[in-house]
Amino acid sequence: QDVTLNLHQFLPAQANVPKLILDVWADAIEADSDGRIQINRFPSMQLGGVPPELMDQAIDGVADIIWTVVGYTPGRFPRTEVFELPFFVSDAAAASSAYWQMYERHMRDTEFRDVHVLGTWVHGPGVIHSQAPITAPEDMTGVKARGASRMVNQLLGELGATPVGMPVPAIPEALSKGVVDAVTIPWEVTGGLKVPELVSNHTEFEGNMLYTLTFVLAMNPDSYAALPDDLKAVVDANSGLEFSVNAGRIQQDADAPARAVAVARGNTITTITDPSDWVAKTAPIYTAWIAEMEAKGIDGQALIDEAKALMAAHGN
């Protein structure tokens, strides 16, 4: 082969995202390049560092390609947070489509200027997994709850919980040692992390998602620039809008089997059919976010409107 690229990310190799999205993507590139590109995969932070450093690892060339949760680096990618607003997104594929289009319009030359972005997507509905049952916002008072991003932690704070920020691989240890009483993650990652064994209550929402997280698959710009044009074309053909929408859809589709595991274990699943109390309690996050964006010289309301319009237009 001509080129070896190192793909670094934080989940174990057999988790859904590496198995169903990243490996498939990397295999396709290896095949389409007739083996001229080899992508070495390093799961579980094997190349060193901690998950919040993945973005800088791509920028500095510690890894050629990284996949990360954008929210692990609070304050650096403000525009992506529009998709993390509470009860904002209803479908991961639609949101991933809007995310990529808005990345091209507003983020490529601003917050993501230091990396070559290959894909942008979001996960399925965020679910609360807890030791004690949670059926109303009041049940969250004083609960030590893990959130993956600044926005999710604000959401937990508004609900009266005590937010604890930590990357997803830290969850099993934190739950088994009582560091947290509840975690917020989509169903899809619960299987790999053994969450249904560690807690017995789950709270999910009908309609719009309580929250979602934004992901990015990014490449070191020099590693990309060093590719000959025909290999650049191979990478380009496997990346971008279509890949992002697919990734969002695949990740949301992976929720159902993981949920079935919790059901089979006899865990209690509470479905909030009327989330109006929850929506009311978390509404201040919108105004606060718009004000924060304004302070950064970003029109938050316009981003909200644009994202809504793009999500509504998806599939039509």
Partner 1 sequence: MMHRAMMTVCRAMALVGGLVLIALITLVCVSIMGRALNGVLHGMGDFALAKTLLNLGIGPVTGDFELVEAGMAFAIFAFLPLCQITGAHASVDIFTSKLPPWGLRVLKAAIEVLFATVLIIIALQLYEGTQSKMRSGQTTFLLQFPIWWAYLASLFAASLAALVACYMVVLRFWAVLTADESLLETDAQ
Partner 2 sequence: MTPLEIGAWSFPALLVLIFLRVPIGLAMFSTGFVGLYLVTGSTNLALARLKSESFTTFSNYSLSIVPMFLLMGYFATVGGMSQALFKAAEGFLGHRRGGVAMAAVGACAGFGAICGSSLATAATMGRTALPELRRYGYSGGFSTATLAAGGTLGILIPPSVILVIYAILTEQNIAKLFLAALAPGLLAAAGYMLTISIYVRLYPNAAGTKPAVPWAQRFDALWRVWPVLMVFLTVVGGIYGGIFTPTEGAAVGAMGTALIALNKGGLSGRVLTEGLLSTAKTTGFIFFIVLGAAFYNGFLALTRVPQELSAFVVEQGFAPMVVLCLILVFYLIFGCLMDSLSMILLTVPIFFPVISALDFGMTTEHVAIWFGILVLIVVEVGLITPPVGMNLFIINAMDKTTSMIETYKSVLFFVASDIVRVIILVAFPGITLFLIAP
Under the binding rule (CB under 8 A), the answer on residue 198 touching partner 2 is: yes
167 binds, among partner 1, partner 2, none (CB under 5 to 8 A by kind): none
76 binds, among partner 1, partner 2, none (CB under 5 to 8 A by kind): partner 1
Of 37, 49, 64, 202, the residue nearest 129 (C-alpha): 202
Which residues, numbered 113-142, are part of the site for partner 1 (CB under 8 A)? 138, 141-142
CA distances from 195 to 19, 150, 190, 238 (A): 19, 22, 5, 33
End-to-end CA, the chain: 42
x/- mask, partner 1, residues 142-181, rule CB under 8 A, reads: x-x--x-xx--x------x-xxxxx---------------
Under 8 Å between Cβ of 72 and 11: no
Residue number with CB closer to partner 1 (59 or 269): 59
Which residues, numbered 68-97, are part of the site for partner 1 (CB under 8 A)? 73-76
Whose tokens are 């060193």? That residue is 48
Under 8 Å between Cβ of 230 and 49: no
Backbone phi and psi for residue 91, each to the nearest 5 degrees, phi listed first: -140, 130
138 binds, among partner 2, partner 1, none (CB under 5 to 8 A by kind): partner 1
Tell me the window of 47-55, 69-77, 227-235, 271-279 that interacts with partner 2 (CB under 8 A). Answer: 47-55
Angle, helices 92-102/300-313, rounded to nearest 10 degrees: 130
Under the binding rule (CB under 8 A), the answer on residue 206 touching partner 2 is: no
Residue number with CB closer to partner 2 (11 or 82): 11
Whose tokens are 């607003």? That residue is 85
Size of site (CB under 8 A) for partner 1:
22
Sort strands 65-69 and 214-219 into parallel, antiparallel or unpaired: antiparallel
CA dist 65 and 112 (Å) reads 14
Binding residues vs partner 1 (CB under 8 A): 52, 56, 59-60, 73-76, 138, 141-142, 144, 147, 149-150, 153, 160, 162-166
Binding residues vs partner 2 (CB under 8 A): 6, 12-14, 40, 42-50, 53, 56-57, 60-62, 172-174, 176-179, 192-194, 197-198
